[in-house]
Each structure stands twice: as structure tokens, then as C-alpha cells.
């Protein structure tokens, strides 16, 4: 059984780090609006940025993060263990025969360099990205090699 793990677990501090862009953006835009307007803030005017910040924070906390991916050769299945800060730990199993992995490589600065979409037939089961799941590019490449040794269909986009 081959197993792959993230470099570190996902914590609440990571959610705040992932939400920093939205926090700074709202502060700058809202600060500019308050600065140029005669209205220096009503109850409603403070509610909008609060809701936007909460939505950004909740979206980052609710993302499914990889805890472990295993290739079980005895049962011939891929076992994906994942969790989010909101829903807790979960597990999905995909038989080797119906598993399909789509590899997406990008050299653009704003995209992940490499990501994997693990499918059961045509249904997306889990998406692995290096930043989201705290995996190195080398580990993702090792997952691809392990998939090839178990004769799982790999599609490159």
C-alpha cells in the first residue's frame, strides 16, 4: 500500500492566511468609499464588509483538504481521506478499474503548477492542488507515478 500525506495539517491560522487578500481588498475599497463619502458609516454600511469577510473566511474553512491518499493493492482501490474545518474528516474509495486521473499543468504565475482531478468514471471525486492540500510538486508527481504502476487511466490536459 502506497500512501501520500500533505507536508502539514490545515489549521485555523491557514484559513486566515488564505483570506488575507479579501481582508486587504475590503479594507482598501471600503476605506476609500468612507473617505470620499459624507456618510461616515451607518449600521448597514458596516454590515456589508462583515458579511463579505465572513463569506471569504467560511469558503476557505469549508474547502476539502487532503489528509492522505492511498493505493490499496489488496482491494485494488484508491482511498482518499480528506477533511475540512467545518465538516470534519471523510473518506472516499474508488476502484482502480473505474478510476481516472486528469493532470492539469500550467506555467502561468496565477495558476497551480500542477493539479490532479481524481474521477470515478466521469464523476469528479476529489481535486488535488499543491497549495490547497499542502503537497509539494514532487509528491504530486509521485502520485501520478503510483497511478501509472496500478494501471489507472491518466489524462493530461
In terms of domains, do 50 and 124 share one?
no
Model confidence at 40: pLDDT above 80: no
Model confidence at 103: pLDDT above 90: yes
Q: Binning pLDDT at 50, 70 and 90, where does residue 63 land?
A: confident
Q: Which of 37-46, 72-81, 127-136 has the highest mean pLDDT?
A: 72-81
pLDDT number for residue 55: 87
**What is the signed CA dihedral for 94, 95, 100, 103, rounded to 10 degrees?**
60
pLDDT number for residue 20: 82
In terms of domains, do 46 and 109 share one?
no
Q: Report phi then psi at 131, rounded to 5.
A: -70, -45
In terms of domains, do 75 and 149 share one?
yes
Q: Binning pLDDT at 50, 70 and 90, where does residue 42 land?
A: low
Model confidence at 60: pLDDT above 90: no
Q: Supply the CATH number for residue 73's domain.
A: 2.30.29
pLDDT number for residue 71: 95
In terms of domains, do 89 and 150 share one?
yes
Closest CA to 70 of 153, 157, 142: 142
In terms of domains, do 85 and 146 share one?
yes
In terms of domains, do 107 and 83 share one?
yes
Mean pLDDT of 110-136: 90
Mean pLDDT of 20-49: 75
List the domain range (segments joined by +) for residue 39: 12-62
Number of domains in the chain: 2
CA distance between the termini of the chain: 28
In terms of domains, do 30 and 73 share one?
no
pLDDT number for residue 141: 93
pTM (two decimals): 0.79
In terms of domains, do 42 and 96 share one?
no
Calpha distance 22→112 (Å, rounded): 19
Amino acid at each position: 500500500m502506497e500512501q501520500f500525506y500533505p507536508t502539514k495539517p490545515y489549521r485555523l491560522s491557514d484559513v486566515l492566511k488564505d483570506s488575507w487578500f479579501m481582508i486587504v481588498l475590503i479594507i482598501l475599497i471600503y476605506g476609500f468609499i468612507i473617505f470620499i463619502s459624507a456618510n461616515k458609516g451607518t449600521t448597514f454600511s458596516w454590515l456589508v464588509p462583515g458579511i463579505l469577510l465572513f463569506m471569504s473566511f467560511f469558503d476557505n474553512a469549508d474547502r476539502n483538504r487532503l489528509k492522505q491518499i492511498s493505493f490499496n493493492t489488496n482491494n485494488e482501490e484508491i482511498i482518499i481521506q480528506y477533511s475540512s474545518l467545518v465538516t470534519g474528516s471523510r473518506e472516499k474509495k474508488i476502484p482502480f478499474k473505474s478510476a481516472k486521473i486528469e493532470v492539469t499543468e500550467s506555467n502561468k504565475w496565477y495558476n497551480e503548477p500542477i493539479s490532479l482531478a481524481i474521477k470515478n468514471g466521469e464523476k469528479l471525486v476529489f481535486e488535488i492542488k499543491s497549495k490547497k492540500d499542502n503537497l509539494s510538486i514532487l509528491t504530486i508527481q509521485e502520485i501520478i507515478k503510483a497511478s501509472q504502476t496500478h494501471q489507472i487511466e491518466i489524462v493530461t490536459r
